[in-house]
A and B are shown apart, each in its own frame.
Chain A
């Protein structure tokens, strides 16, 4: 048996653009070497301007997403306003650190737009927030996607170009990882809309 994070497999990537932000994930849900389904959702829309991508153990992905949904719904009801992306990013960090000695096996990426400015944060499984880079990766194929991102990325891209670049980075990276792939989904968030593109990969 390998690591807990390699049990289900999966990869996610987030990228900043000019007043826009993109997130991409693969679609595989496996149990070690077997593939169970090829349409598993790993990116969740928490709010109109916040996306949460999760990779790692799928049961913890589901639990953590449910926990975050609960937190944001309670916040909306109590405060009667929307949550800011930077606030949500801190909430994810605190929620992960709360379980410091019994962690969730997830590596989240939070993407959002705050007053038009893109916010991107990634975490290790115990809540170390890292929000300075222009792109973040997670999951079993993450290291391969790093390479592709370093090559393809340019600062201040338009939404259309960002969509292409993040899609190509994801597909290039996942092609080298046996536990990720079976399709890809690209989410591009701007102030006006969220575009969702289901990619056609080698095996879809």
Chain B
């Protein structure tokens, strides 16, 4: 019945078996590697009949760009999307988890998911973890109460406001939003405003960059435009691309494993082996 133990061990939730070891290492002086963060600029704007959310596409690990074109807009329900800033792994896995949780609820209750449900579920999950789950989200969607936009902070605080921005580039984006937002925007005006706000974040904030993704949610449906604006596309091709001739890199040994025959063979020696 050994397999039962293994099965029960991975019941779900977090596994804390390495924590003691890691604390000991930290006490000895080792520094941890920075997790991939989504430096980020994300915005949400409510318009007449729906909500628009936009995000940049840069993911950073320290000062290196880990991903030039990552996706920061996550669907939580057919009518609710989330834009995420913070620790990328937390964002990805928490959003996937909530997506599944909401789907299960919809299957059980046969009702559309609501934005305030999502906010409640999120904040009640995040608060006990005291901010250690690093997700700063903007939740936008349209339900029976109309279009709604809220932001959730890692500690579990939430704010409803017709326009929001979060992430390291939020101040740059907020400048654009505060100046140009007004009630009663059309869908296209809201999209243009959101793109302009992200653009400000991309150019003024080191943690944000690359392209802009936009999603517009209305009663009719969801309009997701991946890379609607590209600011960092390669401007030129290499004039004389590198070309390596075959067997250019000297090898000590070369093996080949054939899948069909399931056999390993050594390919002829190119160089004298000096062992």
Chain A residues within 8 Å of B, Cβ to Cβ: 1-5, 7, 48, 74, 93-94, 96-105, 107, 123-130, 132-133, 143, 146, 151-152, 154, 160-161, 163-165, 167-168, 171, 183, 186, 191-200, 204
Contact = CB atoms under 8 A, between A and B. Distances in A.
B255 A195 contact: yes
A187 to B, nearest CB: 10
Contacts of B256: 193-196
Interface of B: 6, 10, 14-22, 25, 28-33, 35-36, 59, 61, 64, 66-70, 87-90, 92-93, 132-133, 241-242, 244-246, 248-260, 267, 271
A199 B252 contact: yes
Interface of A is mostly: mixed
Nearest to A70: B6
Contacts of A163: 249
Contacts of A4: 25, 30-33
Contact of A165 (B10, B28, B31, B244): B244
B241 A200 contact: no
A198 B25 CA distance: 34
B89 A124 contact: yes
B66 A130 contact: yes
A130 B70 contact: yes
A1 B21 CA distance: 17
26 contacts: A3-B32, A3-B33, A4-B32, A48-B259, A97-B93, A98-B14, A102-B16, A102-B17, A102-B19, A102-B21, A124-B33, A125-B33, A126-B87, A128-B59, A130-B36, A130-B66, A130-B70, A143-B64, A151-B242, A167-B249, A183-B252, A192-B259, A196-B254, A196-B256, A197-B249, A199-B250
B251 A197 contact: yes
B25 to A, nearest CB: 6
Contacts, number: 154
A143 B34 CA distance: 14
A5 B251 CA distance: 29
B246 A1 contact: no
A127 B93 contact: yes
Residue of A74, A94, A102 contacting most chain B CB atoms (<10 Å): A102
A32 B59 CA distance: 29
B27 to A, nearest CB: 11
A130 B18 contact: no
B36 A195 contact: no
Contacts of A93: 89, 92-93
Given A1-B28, A195-B256, A101 B19 contact: yes
A192 B66 CA distance: 32
Given A128-B59, A128-B89, 15 more contacts: A1-B29, A2-B30, A4-B30, A5-B33, A101-B19, A127-B93, A128-B88, A130-B70, A133-B67, A133-B69, A164-B245, A194-B256, A195-B267, A199-B250, A200-B251
